[in-house]
């Protein structure tokens, strides 16, 4: 393998600088999350998530912090690991430990069942606080808050064809793979 010239990049979201440099051996395929984690540390997005959500667990029994689990799910979703089963492996990944705030050589992060309980424990008031926090974060991203926001929510049909798996989830105005002839005719004019 021909490696590019040596470069280093440091991130400060952990208690010690995280230095990234090319190496011959495989470490992780998700290093692209490091700049996102650094950006998150600057704007405090996951901190807002943590503050908005209610942690109903009995604290003396807690092994995995709420912050770790929030970050595991957010960064897992950003890396296209939307299925919680992936976290049984990701919980041992040194990069995901670092993203969650643990040392790469620390104990594994939360498992899939723990993350499922975490997600299912969210209550309506927590989700409303989270919604308000995200809106506030968005508005604060402007140097001067906008007087008005316009959301263009376009509801259009994008049908699937050929009896594809899970087409039952895609059924807007009664169009689906079963009546794709109607969809094709209406899409063509």
Tens of pLDDT, residue by residue over 70-125, are 999 999 999 988 888 888 889 999 889 989 988 888 999 999 998 888 888 888 99
With cut-offs at 50, 70 and 90, classify the pLDDT of residue 66: confident
User: Does residue 178 surpass a pLDDT of 70?
Assistant: no
Q: Which residues pair with 174 in a beta bridge?
A: none
For the chain, the residue count is 189
Q: CA of 152: how far to CAs of 155, 156, 171, in Å? A: 9, 12, 21
Q: Are residues 159 and 93 in the same domain?
A: no
104 and 29 together in one domain: yes
Instruction: Check whether residue 68 and residue 92 sit in a common domain.
Output: yes
Same domain, 168 and 132: no
User: Per-residue pLDDT tens for 28-51?
Assistant: 778 888 889 988 988 888 999 889
Q: How many domains does the chain have?
A: 2
**84 lies in which domain range?**
9-140
The tally of CA atoms less than 13 A away on the side-chain side of residue 172 is 10
Residue 20 dihedral angles phi and psi, to the nearest 5° = -110, 130
Q: Is residue 159 domain-shared with residue 131, that is, in the same domain? A: no
Question: Residue 145's pLDDT is what?
Answer: 84
CA 22 to chain centre: 26
- SS3 category, 11: strand
Indicate whether 21 belongs to any domain.
yes
Same domain, 161 and 94: no
């Amino acid at each position: 393998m021909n490696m590019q010239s040596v470069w280093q990049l440091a991130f400060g979201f952990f208690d010690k600088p995280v230095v990234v440099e090319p190496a011959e051996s495989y470490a992780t395929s998700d290093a692209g999350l490091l700049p996102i984690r650094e950006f998150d540390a600057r704007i405090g997005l996951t901190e807002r998530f943590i503050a908005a959500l209610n942690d109903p667990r009995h604290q003396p029994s807690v092994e995995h912090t709420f912050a770790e689990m929030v970050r595991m799910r957010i960064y897992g979703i950003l890396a296209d690991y939307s299925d919680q089963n992936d976290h049984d492996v990701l919980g041992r990944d040194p990069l995901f430990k670092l993203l969650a705030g643990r040392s790469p050589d620390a104990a594994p992060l939360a498992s899939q069942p723990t993350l499922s309980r975490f997600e299912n424990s969210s209550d309506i008031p927590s989700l409303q606080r989270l919604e308000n926090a995200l809106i506030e974060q968005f508005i604060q991203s402007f140097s001067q808050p906008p007087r008005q926001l316009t959301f263009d929510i376009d509801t259009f049909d994008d049908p699937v064809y050929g009896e594809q798996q899970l087409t039952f989830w895609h059924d807007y105005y009664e169009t689906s793979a079963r009546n794709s002839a109607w969809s094709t005719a209406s899409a063509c004019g």
